[in-house]
Structure 1
C-alpha cells in the first residue's frame, strides 16, 4: 500500500486500541493484509471450518484478524448479522470487536478453457488480541490447573457476558470452551458469533431448518425441533460450567465432583468453597434440563452466584475482622482473594509447626519404619517386573501371544462358544465374499461345517484381547433368542479378532425398505417386525444373563430371515454393562437419544428412543438419516403436539382401510412416547414388547375371523 495512506490506516487501528469506548469501524482490506504479512502461515493462530484467524501486528500491539473461508457457501446476510451482533455486543466479558471488512475484488480465473473475471469476496473481522487463548486449553480436573477461585470467577464472567447478550436479544448458539477466551487476568471473553441470531422485540424464539453447532454443547430441543430460544444458550452454559468443574465432557455425580475438590481444598478452610462447588454443580445440571422451560435464566444464575460469594465473604469476615479493618475499601471479590491468601498462609504455618512438633516427639523412628516399608514394596514390584520382563511380556508380539493364549484358555472353559482354526475361516475371508464393511469391521458370507455363516473381522481386535473381553464373548454366546443373531464362535489365530455368527439371508431392514430392489411389505409384516424386534430388545434388557444395552438400534442393525423374522445384530461386544468405565459408543445422530448426546451415558431408554425412530421408518418408509435435520421424527412430533392425525406421513402402500389407519395412528403414538425428551416418561422395552404383541395378535385374530 501507499506509505502515507498505510500509516493513516494504521493510526485508525491505533486509535481504536487506545480508546476502549471507540465504536467498531470499516477497515480496508489492504490494512488487514498488511498487518498479517499477507495472511502468512507464521501469523496464523487458529482455524476452523469457516474461518482462519491471524495475528495482526499494530505497532507494539496485536490484534486478531478472522478471515472467513469459503465465503460463497455462506449467505451474505449471515455475515451482516454477525457484524451487527458484534457491534451491539460491547461488554467486558465479550471479546472486543474493532472492525470489519467486506471487500469484493475481481480476479481472472480459467473457466471451461477461457479466462473470465470472477468476483472474489473477502470477509474479515478484527478483534482485540486475548493473550491467554481459549478456555479449553486451560480446563483440567480438580487436582491441578486453575484453582477454585479462578474457575468461579470464570463461570461468573461467562454468565455476565451471556446475560448482556440476552438483554441485547442476541442468542449466541455456539457457547463452548473453545469460544471463550481468557485475558492476562484470566477474565473470560465470549467470542465467535458466526452462528448468533438476534430476536426482534417481542420475539421469543426462532425456528431454523439448518441446525449448526457443536455436539455435546447443543440444546437437545434445538437439535430435535430447530427451535432457538435464549434457553438454548443456557443449556450450553450448563455443559460449560460442568466441564469447568470436572475437566471432562461427560456427566459425573455431584458427590464425585465435590469429593475431587475436597482433596484440593483440604489445605485451606474450604467449607464455603465446597458449598460453592455444590451450588455451581446444581446450576450446571439445572441449565441442562431437557425441558427448556425449567432452565434458569442468566440473571437468576448470577444472583445465586453473588449470594454465594457474599456468604463466603460474610463467613470469612466474621472470623477475620482485623483484615476487614485493615482494608475497608476492598470490594467483596477483592476481600475474598485476600482472605484466601491469608488462609493459605495460616495453613502453611500450621503445617510447618506440626512438622517441627512431630520431629521433636520421636517421629524419626516412624520415618525410618515407613522408608523400610516402602523399600520392601519396591523390591517386590521390581521382582515381579523382572519376571515379566524375562517372559518378554512387554514386547508387543509376545504380549499379543500371551493375551491370545490366556483368552483361548478362558473361552475353552465355556461350552457355549466354538473356537475356529485359521485354516477353517481363511476360505471365507476373500474379497469375493465381502458383504459389508464399516469403520470398525468387515463382514463376509461363507460356509463352515456345511452351514452358512457370517464372519466378522474386527479391526485392531488384539488391543482388547483380555480376560474381560473373553467374558463378554461368552456372555454373547449364551444369548439365545429367536430375534437376536446368534454368536457361534471366534478365531484367535489371526492378526485381528474374528467372530462367527449365524447367517441371516434377507439382509437388513434398511436394505429392504430403501434399496433399489426394495421389497413390498404389508402392514401385517411391518407390525410383526416391530413387535418381534421389541421382544429381542426386551430380552437383552431384562432376561439375558447380564443386562445388555445395544446402543445402535436402527434398520441397518435389524436383519430379516426368509420368513421376515427380525434378528437384531450389529452389537459392540464392549457395550455390555460389565465394565468399570463407561464405553464410548459410535451412534448415528438420526437415531441417537438426546440424553446420551448430553451426558455420554447409555441407558435402556437410549435403546427405546432409537426404537421409536425405527417404528416411524416402518410406518412411513422414509429414511430418518436421509431426512433433512431429522425431519422425520420432528414431523411426527409436531403433528402430535398439534393433536392432529399423521395420515399424510404414512406410507400410502399400507394406509388403505380405516382399520389400517387406526393401527398406524396407534403405532405413531407409541413411537412418539419413545421419543419423549423426559426419559422417565418413555416406556420400557418390556412394556413396548407387550403392547406391540397385543396389537399384533389382535390384528391376526381379525384376519383369521374375516377369512372364516
Structure 2
C-alpha cells in the first residue's frame, strides 16, 4: 500500500516539476528518501547551519531536497513558519516550492544499556533544482566576470523578488548572495526562508531575543532585537554594491562610474548603461543607511530602475550624467595607454622612508605604558625622518600617490561639480574645525583615491574596509567606512580630535582624515598586516609559548587601561577582538580601530545600534546599545580565553567556547580540558588557572562585578613580570 501511495506522489511530483502553476503538496518521507538515495552523501549539494540540501532525481528531471537538521532547541513552529512563507511566495524570482514533509516515527534504540522508544522527527522541503549555483560565485569587480546587462538583470530580478515578498507581508531576514540562486539566462531566484517571518496586515515590525542571520548583511537594528521590511532593504543594498564593485562597502559614485566606463565604452548606448550603473550605486548606498526610515522601499527601488529602462528604450538620457560621462570617455581615451598599475604592498613596506610632510604628523613621543610617565618612542618604531627621500614613482612594493595625477580619476576629481561636492562633504564633517587643529592632517581626495583599489585591500570588518598604501612615501592604512550614517559636523570633528590624542606605543595612531568623500576616510599609521586572530586561528603552526601569550595579553591590557584612564573625556574602544590586535615580528601588539563605533553611529555611549563581531560583544551592549568601559572588559575576557585555549569564540553556537567555559566556572570545575595542549603542561597549569579566573571575572554577566581594565592590566603585568623572572 505504501509503495502504491509513493508511486502516486512520485507521478505528481514529476508533473509539478514541469508545471510551474502546480500548487505545493505534502510529500511522504519514503518518496524523498527514494529520490535522494536515502539522503546519501553523494547526493549532497549544499549545507548550512540548520539544513543539508540534496539533489533528487524525479523521472528525467531534478529537484532540490532540503532536510532540516533537528536540534533540541529547534521548535516545530520554525518549520511551520518557513512553510507558511514558502506557500505565499510564488514569483519568477523566488525559488519554486514543490512540497514538504513533516514526519515523526517511533524508533527503538539502546540508551545506556536499555532499550528505549524515541520519536524521530524529519522535516523536509522540496524545491525546483537550480543548477548554476548561487550569486556569491559570480561576485567580481567590473574588470572581469559578468557583463553589465547580466548584473543589472540580477539586481532588478532580486528587487522584484523582494518586492513580491514584502507585498505578501514576508520578511526574508537572511538576504545574501549565497541565498540568491542563478537560473538559466542569469535569472536570480531568492532562496532559503529558514529565518523568514510572515507579518500580520497591521504589523510593521517584529522582535526577537535570538539573533540569527549572516554577519555583514544584517541591518544594525537586528542587534537590538527588532527588524522591519527595511532590514531586508539594508541587506539588498549590500548585495547591490557587491554586484557593482565586487566588494562590500560604501562606494563613491563617480569611482564606480569610472570603473565601469572601461567595460561599456564599446557597447551600444553605453552612456545610458552608465546611467544604470549610477542609479544602482545610489540605490545601494541609500539602502545601507543606518536609519531604517531613510531607506527606500522595494516599490520605489523598482520604479527608479524602470525609469532607466525607459531611458534606454526611448534613447533619452539624463543631462547631468550625459555631460559627466562624455567628459569621462574623452579623458579615458586620452589616458587609455597611460593607466597606472599598482602592486600589492609587501612586508617590506615598513622599510620605506617618508618625507617630512607626512612624517611630522606621526613622529611624536608616545606613552609607552598606560601608567603616568612618558617615554620617547624608539627610533626603530618610526623610521620616517632623517632618511633619503624616495622617488615619487610606482614602486614594486606599492602605490605611489604623487605619480597618479595623470589618471582619469584625477581629472574626474577636478571637475567643478565634484569640487563643489568635495567642499560640501568637507564642511559636513567638520572640516572648518579640524583646519585649526595642528596635530590632525587633512588629506585631499586625490591623495588617497589611487590607494582605494581591491589590490590594496588588506582587511574588511563590520565597520568597513581597510587599504594599505603609500602617501608621500610613508606607509599608512586607510579605513573606508561602510555606513551612510556617520556622525557629522562637530560630532565627527570632535571624535577625530579625541582619537588623534591617543598617543601610546601599543595603540595604532590616527594621523588624520579626508573629508572630501561621501563618507570620510581615516588615515592611520601602518603597523602590520598580521594580527592575533591570524596567529591563533589561521596560521596555527606558529608556536606560541605561554610567555608570549601572557606578554600579548598584558601589553594589550595596558594599552586599553591607558585609554580608559588617561583622559578627561572617556575613551572606549567598542570593538575589542583579536583581529584588532596587530602583531609585529616579535609579537609586540598594537591595538587598532579604537573608537570607530563612535564615528559610525549616533548617541556615542548610547549608540542604539551594535556593530561589530557578536562573538566578542558584551551581552548588555547587545541588548541595550549601551557601550561602557565594562563592555571593553568583557571583550578582553574573551581574548584571554582564546589566548589560553587557541580556540575561536563563536556566536549563535550552543556549544561555544564562552558558554562551555562559564558553565565549568559556574559548576566549580576547572577548564583544563579547554586549554591549548601546547601550553597545558604541569608547570603552567597554576598560571593558566589564574588567567582563566581573570577571564571569568571579565565575562561576568553582572557588569558591576567585572574588574576595571586598569585592574586587569595591573594583575596581568605582575603575572608577566613573575613569569619573566622564573
| TM-score class, shorter | 0.5 to 0.7
Deviations 1:163-189 (A, max 9, x none): 111111001111111111111121111
Deviations 1:639-679 (A, max 9, x none): xxxxxxxxxxxxxxxxxxxxxxxxxxxxxxxxxxxxxxxxx
What is the match of residue 264 of structure 1?
263
What is the match of residue 650 of structure 1?
none
Counterpart CA distance in 1 for 2:550 and 2:469 is 21
Equivalent pair of 2:241/2:281 in contact (CA under 8 Å): yes
Equivalent pair of 1:624/1:631 in contact (CA under 8 Å): no
What is the match of residue 111 of structure 2?
111
SS at match of 1:163: helix
Verify: 1:417 aligned to 2:378, yes or no: yes
Counterpart CA distance in 2 for 1:276 and 1:139 is 18
Compute the displacement of 1:136 (Å). Answer: 1.0
Equivalent pair of 2:16/2:98 in contact (CA under 8 Å): yes
Equivalent pair of 2:261/2:274 in contact (CA under 8 Å): yes
Counterpart CA distance in 2 for 1:585 and 1:127 is 48
Verify: 1:572 aligned to 2:571, yes or no: no
Compute the displacement of 1:255 (Å). Answer: 1.5
Counterpart CA distance in 1 for 2:46 and 2:79 is 19
Compute the displacement of 1:313 (Å). Answer: 0.8
What is the match of residue 135 of structure 2?
135
What is the match of residue 66 of structure 1?
66
143-152 or 102-111: bigger deviation:
102-111
1:450-529 alignment runs, 5 A limit: 484=504, 508=557
Verify: 1:120 aligned to 2:154, yes or no: no
Equivalent pair of 2:43/2:54 in contact (CA under 8 Å): yes
Aligned CA distance change for structure 1 residues 406 and 285 (closer, same or farther; 3 Å): closer
SS at match of 2:119: strand
Equivalent pair of 2:621/2:627 in contact (CA under 8 Å): no
Counterpart CA distance in 1 for 2:624 and 2:157 is 40
Aligned CA distance change for structure 1 residues 480 and 18 (closer, same or farther; 3 Å): closer
Verify: 1:627 aligned to 2:619, yes or no: yes
Deviations 1:551-582 (A, max 9, x none): 7655x99xxxxxxxxxxx985369xxxxxxxx
Aligned CA distance change for structure 1 residues 289 and 536 (closer, same or farther; 3 Å): closer
Match of 1:605 among 592, 599, 602: 599
Compute the displacement of 1:11 (Å). Answer: 0.5
1:278-427 alignment runs, 5 A limit: 278-315=278-315, 416-417=377-378
Counterpart CA distance in 1 for 2:30 and 2:567 is 64
SS at match of 2:566: helix
Bigger radius of gyration among the two: 1
What is the match of residue 56 of structure 2?
56
Compute the displacement of 1:115 (Å). Answer: 2.4
5+ residue gaps, structure 1, are: 318-369, 371-398, 421-464, 474-478, 513-527, 538-549, 558-568, 575-583, 595-603, 617-622, 637-708
Compute the displacement of 1:110 (Å). Answer: 3.2
Counterpart CA distance in 1 for 2:349 and 2:310 is 61
What is the match of residue 532 of structure 1?
566
Counterpart CA distance in 2 for 1:503 and 1:536 is 24
Deviations 1:417-456 (A, max 9, x none): 2779xxxxxxxxxxxxxxxxxxxxxxxxxxxxxxxxxxxx
1:42-191 alignment runs, 5 A limit: 42-191=42-191
Counterpart CA distance in 1 for 2:262 and 2:160 is 29
Counterpart CA distance in 1 for 2:505 and 2:592 is 20
Counterpart CA distance in 2 for 1:511 and 1:54 is 49
Verify: 1:41 aligned to 2:33, yes or no: no
Equivalent pair of 1:483/1:533 in contact (CA under 8 Å): no
Equivalent pair of 2:352/2:475 in contact (CA under 8 Å): no
What is the match of residue 242 of structure 2?
243
Counterpart CA distance in 1 for 2:259 and 2:625 is 40
Compute the displacement of 1:125 (Å). Answer: 0.4
* TM-score, normalisation: structure 1: 0.53
Counterpart CA distance in 2 for 1:203 and 1:222 is 17
What is the match of residue 660 of structure 1?
none
Counterpart CA distance in 1 for 2:596 and 2:81 is 32
Counterpart CA distance in 1 for 2:123 and 2:303 is 39
Counterpart CA distance in 2 for 1:150 and 1:585 is 43
What is the match of residue 715 of structure 2?
none
Counterpart CA distance in 2 for 1:417 and 1:247 is 41
Verify: 1:229 aligned to 2:263, yes or no: no
SS at match of 2:151: helix
Deviations 1:507-553 (A, max 9, x none): 959999xxxxxxxxxxxxxxx9856346596xxxxxxxxxxxx9765
Counterpart CA distance in 1 for 2:162 and 2:502 is 54
Aligned CA distance change for structure 1 residues 103 and 285 (closer, same or farther; 3 Å): same
Verify: 1:201 aligned to 2:201, yes or no: yes
Aligned CA distance change for structure 1 residues 204 and 404 (closer, same or farther; 3 Å): closer
SS at match of 1:72: coil
Counterpart CA distance in 2 for 1:179 and 1:570 is 30
Counterpart CA distance in 2 for 1:315 and 1:480 is 52
Counterpart CA distance in 1 for 2:182 and 2:378 is 56
Deviations 1:466-488 (A, max 9, x none): 99999789xxxxx998984569x
Aligned CA distance change for structure 1 residues 77 and 483 (closer, same or farther; 3 Å): same
Aligned CA distance change for structure 1 residues 506 and 612 (closer, same or farther; 3 Å): farther
How many residues get paired? 433
SS at match of 1:127: strand
1:522-671 alignment runs, 5 A limit: 532-533=566-567, 571-572=581-582, 605=599, 625-627=617-619, 630-633=622-625
269-278 or 498-507: bigger deviation:
498-507
SS at match of 1:30: helix
Once superposed, what is the RMSD of the aligned Cα atoms? 5.0
